[in-house]
């Protein structure tokens, strides 16, 4: 499901500052549910995320993978969960700033948080809810492939149909590599996995399933070069022990080598941190005024990092933020079943 990006909000003409009741930093499941809940409470909401699409890690790493621990679903595909969360919030008109990294947080003379992005956006919010998951995650690079980024080398497979009838080479031995091989095998002309060792981090059952699909798995090898003119055409694979090389046809190389997770600029905002997570209290309030957090990015005694827990934390954060924005507002707004359709 598409969402509006950089959609206009009320703005201060002199400063081009975007005004919103709640700014949610992070468009993963917790952030999207927080966007719904803020709208349900009658609050305007803006969602900012460094990625170009909603869904966080789900959209970036396993959009086609079934998720089994979401209440009410026996299993739900990652992409479908994200689409449902976006659709749930849509009636309330959230605004999205996608492809924006939140770089600086200060408080203005009126005490309201001011958040700046790396693309020059400035958002003034009644409250901020940080739902950044593991923080900023940066793909581990494929040394031989950087020149072909955008020309055949990718880190994510957001839409498998883009690779229909292509020769695809996947580099890596983890769950993402084998999940994408499983997804692409019925669509692509060919799928091959290249891995540096004969040991895989992926679940054994998934490895066996991919083998049974006829996917060629080339071990103890690495991609040593990519070749093509305007677009990728073939890859060179070198055996790490013998040095022997072979050339494979390739329209796409998926570098599934893992990610480096980091809080990024958030770690310099003055928040109290516990082991690189944001410390919160039972209200999901952080150590900074009008700043809350929810989801995997938070830490407190007994914390359980599940999407289901993140949903509840997002609702808790938004409800408590609502009472900070308007001290006369009730903490509990009533059940959704009490509202008129």
Answer yes or no: do 229 and 131 share one domain: no
Q: Is the pLDDT of residue 160 over 50?
A: yes
In a domain, 3, yes or no: no
| The token pair that represents 155 in the structure block | 């880190």
In a domain, 6, yes or no: no
In a domain, 187, yes or no: yes
Pairing mode, if any, of strands 252-255 and 153-154?
parallel
| The token pair that represents 316 in the structure block | 């808790």
| The token pair that represents 261 in the structure block | 């997770």
pTM exceeds 0.85: no
Answer yes or no: do 205 and 233 share one domain: yes
Last residue in a domain, options 237, 257, 277 = 257
Tell me the HSE value of 331 on the side-chain side, using a 13 A CA sphere. 4
Which residue stretches of the chain are H helix?
29-40, 57-61, 78-89, 175-184, 204-212, 307-325
Structure confidence by residue, pLDDT tens digits, 195-237: 999 999 988 988 999 999 999 999 999 999 999 999 999 999 9
- Give the pLDDT confidence score for residue 136 in this predicted structure: 66
Last residue in a domain, options 257, 275, 295 = 257
In a domain, 305, yes or no: yes
- Give the pLDDT confidence score for residue 97 in this predicted structure: 95
Binding residues for FAD: 49, 57, 62, 102, 137, 296, 337
Cα–Cα distance between 136 and 122 in angstroms, integer?
A: 20
CA nearest to 26, candidates 148, 179, 134: 134
Answer yes or no: do 160 and 240 share one domain: yes
Tell me the HSE value of 65 on the side-chain side, using a 13 A CA sphere. 19
Q: Is the pLDDT of residue 8 over 60?
A: no
Last residue in a domain, options 242, 257, 272 = 257
- Give the pLDDT confidence score for residue 59 in this predicted structure: 80
Q: Once rounded to an integer, what is the mean pLDDT over residues 300-316?
A: 96
Pairing mode, if any, of strands 113-117 and 298-299?
unpaired
Answer yes or no: do 15 and 79 share one domain: yes
Cα–Cα distance between 83 and 148 in angstroms, integer?
A: 30
Q: Once rounded to an integer, what is the mean pLDDT over residues 166-173?
A: 96
Place 14 in a pLDDT band, splitting at 50, 70 and 90: very low
Structure confidence by residue, pLDDT tens digits, 145-158: 778 988 999 988 87
- Give the pLDDT confidence score for residue 3 in this predicted structure: 56
In a domain, 202, yes or no: yes
Q: Is the pLDDT of residue 321 over 90?
A: yes
Q: Is the pLDDT of residue 162 over 50?
A: yes
Across the chain, mean pLDDT equals 90
Answer yes or no: do 23 and 83 share one domain: yes
**Residues spanned by the domain of 182:** 141-257
Answer yes or no: do 59 and 164 share one domain: no
Answer yes or no: do 22 and 126 share one domain: yes
What single string gives the DSSP state of each residue in 249-268?
E-SEEEE---EEEE-GGGGG
Structure confidence by residue, pLDDT tens digits, 21-50: 999 999 999 999 999 999 999 999 999 998
- Give the pLDDT confidence score for residue 62 in this predicted structure: 73
Q: What percent of the chain has pLDDT over 90?
A: 72
Answer yes or no: do 91 and 157 share one domain: no
| The token pair that represents 140 in the structure block | 């581990």
Report the C-alpha dihedral over residues 283, 60, 262, 121, rounded to 10 degrees.
Answer: -70
Cα–Cα distance between 2 and 254 in angstroms, integer?
A: 24
Helices 175-184 & 204-212, crossing angle to 10 degrees? 30
- Give the pLDDT confidence score for residue 164 in this predicted structure: 96
Q: Is the pLDDT of residue 112 over 80?
A: yes
Other beta carbons within 10 Å of 68: 9
Are residues 107 and 324 in contact, defined by beta-carbon separation less than 8 angstroms? no
Structure confidence by residue, pLDDT tens digits, 46-68: 999 988 889 988 887 777 778 99
Helices 29-40 & 78-89, crossing angle to 10 degrees? 20
Answer yes or no: do 170 and 267 share one domain: no
Phi and psi, residue 180, nearest 5°: -70, -35
Answer yes or no: do 266 and 130 share one domain: yes
CATH number of domain containing 199 = 3.50.50.60
Binding residues: 49, 57, 62, 102, 137, 296, 337
Answer yes or no: do 243 and 278 share one domain: no
Residue 40 to residues 91, 213, 215, 282, 323: CA-CA distances in angstroms? 9, 46, 47, 22, 14
In a domain, 333, yes or no: yes
In a domain, 1, yes or no: no
In a domain, 4, yes or no: no
Answer yes or no: do 180 and 122 share one domain: no
Domain count, the chain: 2
Q: Once rounded to an integer, what is the mean pLDDT over residues 117-135?
A: 91
């Amino acid at each position: 499901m598409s969402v509006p990006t950089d959609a206009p909000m009320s703005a201060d003409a002199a400063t081009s500052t975007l005004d919103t009741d709640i700014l949610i930093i992070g468009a993963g499941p917790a952030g999207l549910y927080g966007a719904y809940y803020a709208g349900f409470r009658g609050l305007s909401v803006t969602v900012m995320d460094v990625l170009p699409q909603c869904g966080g890690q789900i959209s970036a790493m396993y959009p086609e993978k079934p998720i089994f621990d979401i209440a009410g679903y026996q299993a739900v595909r990652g992409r479908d969960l994200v689409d449902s969360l976006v659709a749930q919030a849509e009636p309330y008109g959230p605004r999205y700033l996608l492809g924006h990294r939140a770089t600086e947080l200060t408080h203005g003379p009126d005490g309201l948080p001011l958040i700046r992005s790396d693309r020059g956006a400035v958002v003034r919010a009644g409250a901020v809810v940080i739902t950044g998951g593991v923080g900023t995650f940066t793909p581990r690079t494929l040394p031989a492939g950087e020149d072909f980024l955008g020309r055949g080398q990718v880190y994510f497979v957001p839409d498998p149909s883009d690779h229909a009838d292509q020769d695809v080479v996947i580099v890596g031995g983890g769950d993402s590599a084998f999940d994408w091989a499983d997804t692409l095998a019925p669509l692509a002309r060919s799928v091959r996995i290249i891995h540096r060792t004969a040991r895989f981090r992926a679940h054994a059952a998934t490895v066996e399933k991919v083998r049974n699909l006829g996917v060629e798995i080339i071990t103890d090898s690495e991609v040593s070069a990519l070749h093509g003119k305007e677009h990728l055409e073939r890859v060179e694979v070198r055996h790490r022990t013998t040095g022997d090389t072979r050339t494979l046809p390739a329209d796409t190389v998926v570098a599934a080598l893992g990610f480096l997770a980091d809080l990024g600029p958030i770690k310099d905002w003055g928040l109290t941190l516990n082991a690189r997570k944001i410390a919160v209290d039972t209200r999901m309030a952080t150590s900074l005024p009008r700043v809350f957090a929810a989801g995997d990015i938070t830490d407190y005694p007994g914390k359980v990092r599940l999407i289901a827990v993140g949903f509840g934390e997002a609702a808790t954060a938004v409800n408590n933020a609502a009472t900070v924005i308007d001290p006369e507002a009730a903490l509990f707004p009533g059940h959704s079943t009490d509202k008129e359709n």
